[in-house]
Amino acid sequence: SQTIHQWPATLVQPVGSPLSLECTVEGTSNPNLYWYRQAAGRGLQLLFYSVGIGQISSEVPQNLSASRPQDRQFILSSKKLLLSDSGFYLCAWSRTGEASPLHFGNGTRLTVT
C-alpha cells in the first residue's frame, strides 16, 4: 500500500528565517505530487504541483519554491519567511491520470512569529 510521510508536524519560525518542508511517498512510482496551504478557517490553496522529477508548476507567485530531486520526494522551501506564510501545509500525491484523487500527508503547521 502507498504511504505519504510529511515532516515536521509543527514548526515555529521567526520572520526572515529559511524554511524547508519535506514529503516522501512510498509504495508507488512516478506519482503526481502537490503542496497545498490552508490558512486558518480557509480553503485549500494549491501552491505547487509536479508530474515528474525536476518538473514543478507554480500556482501562486510568492516567496516559496518547490523542488523534486527524486521521484517520490517533494520539498517546499523559502529563503525568508513572512508572517503571511503561517498556515497548515499539506503535501499530497496522486496516481498519474486526470481522474485520480489526491491523498494527503498529515500536514505541517507553520507559525511565523
Partner 1 sequence: QKEVEQNSGPLSVPEGAIASLNCTYSDRGSQSFFWYRQYSGKSPELIMFIYSNGDKEDGRFTAQLNKASQYVSLLIRDSQPSDSATYLCAFPGGYQKVTFGTGTKLQVIP
The answer to whether 34 touches 92, Cβ cutoff 8 Å, is yes
Smallest gap from Cβ 44 to partner 1, in A, equals 4
Nearer to partner 1, 14 or 99 (CB): 99
Nearer to partner 1, 14 or 97 (CB): 97
Smallest gap from Cβ 70 to partner 1, in A, equals 19
Nearer to partner 1, 14 or 101 (CB): 101
Smallest gap from Cβ 52 to partner 1, in A, equals 10
> Under the rule (CB under 8 A), what is the footprint of partner 1?
32, 34, 42-44, 46, 49, 51, 57, 59, 90, 94, 96, 98-107, 109
Q: Which of 91, 92, 96, 93 is nearest to 110 (CA)?
A: 91
The whole-angstrom separation of Cα 111 and Cα 94 is: 27
Nearer to partner 1, 11 or 44 (CB): 44
- Number of helices followed by number of strands (H, E) in the chain: 0, 11
Smallest gap from Cβ 11 to partner 1, in A, equals 15
Dihedral (CA of 37, 107, 19, 68) sign: negative
